[in-house]
Amino acid sequence: MSFLNQLKAQANAVQAAKSVAQTQAQIEAQARLERTETACNTTWTYLSEMAHQLNILAPDGPKFSVDGKTPWPSMKLVDFRVDFRKKTLSNRELFSSMGIGWEVVPSQRKLGSGRVTVNFLPELKKVEARLAAGNIEHQRFQVRHAQTQSIQAITFEYRTQAHASISVKPDHDLGELSFRFSNVSGLAVQIASWSADLIQESFLDELAKLVMSRPSRLFPTPD
């Protein structure tokens, strides 16, 4: 065999190996897509049924506090609703996102108000972050020294009502689902991703426990 033919044989072998690798990669990518879409269908079915049941139950809400010291009154969860979006990929409809949202309101269904005063920067940042996370209607006032007019503290007056939600965004390429929990177990936003293989009824049961303010393996209670 001439040296040129040897080169041709080597090149053919490399091309064959690349073709096998590409075919295997395509098979694995399609498998990840299918697993992700299955997880999305499972999640959507669970969230839809959970919303229906919780609208009947109107369960107790989590213990909220803007400053970590001043507790809100007893709260309950109401007005659960679900939604989803889809996208088209290679002439196929796939889940693009989905979510469930609800309102956290006083148990007596009468809007209340609260007031906290902070005078240290770390506490101020925490209060601002919690108010922002809950999209809580509030007003901010500066407390000034009577003589020097220097700012001594910041007072916040706010409504004791918040919006909570769980949004889900699948990544079909990676084979995982990203969950964004907003004000579910506290006035905070938590984000985490899990493999589509893990998204089964037992996993979603832990999600439901989190919504119901019961111990869950998904997240510890935020500070």
The confidence score (pLDDT) of residue 204 equals 97
The confidence score (pLDDT) of residue 119 equals 87
Let me know if residue 217 belongs to a domain: no
Q: 167 burial class (0-12, 13-18, 19+ CB within 10 angstroms)?
A: middle
Q: Domain range spanning residue 33?
A: 3-211
- Name which of 77, 72, 68 is nearest 130 in CA terms: 68
Let me know if residue 191 belongs to a domain: yes
The confidence score (pLDDT) of residue 104 equals 95
The confidence score (pLDDT) of residue 160 equals 94
- Indicate if the pLDDT at residue 221 is higher than 60: no
Q: CA end-to-end span of the chain, whole Å?
A: 74
pLDDT of 76-131, one tens digit each? 999 999 999 999 987 899 999 999 999 999 998 677 889 999 988 889 999 999 99
Gap between the Cα atoms of 214 and 61, Å rounded: 10
Identify which has the larger pLDDT, 197 or 16.
Answer: 197
Count of structural domains, the chain: 1
Let me know if residue 216 belongs to a domain: no
Q: How many CB atoms lie within 10 A of CB 147?
A: 6
The confidence score (pLDDT) of residue 29 equals 87
The confidence score (pLDDT) of residue 26 equals 80
Let me know if residue 135 belongs to a domain: yes
The confidence score (pLDDT) of residue 20 equals 64
The confidence score (pLDDT) of residue 109 equals 67
Quickly count helices (H) and strands (E) in the chain. 3, 8
The confidence score (pLDDT) of residue 28 equals 85
Let me know if residue 30 belongs to a domain: yes
Identify which has the larger pLDDT, 119 or 27.
Answer: 119
Let me know if residue 83 belongs to a domain: yes
pLDDT of 127-145, one tens digit each? 999 999 988 999 999 887 6
pTM of the model: 0.83
Structure tokens at 29: 């990518």
Q: 135: alpha, beta or left, given left = phi > 0 and alpha = psi -120 to 50?
A: left
88-92, 164-168, 210-214: least confidently modelled range: 88-92
Let me know if residue 220 belongs to a domain: no
The confidence score (pLDDT) of residue 111 equals 74
Let me know if residue 100 belongs to a domain: yes
Chain-centroid distance of CA 63 in Å reads 19
The confidence score (pLDDT) of residue 223 equals 44
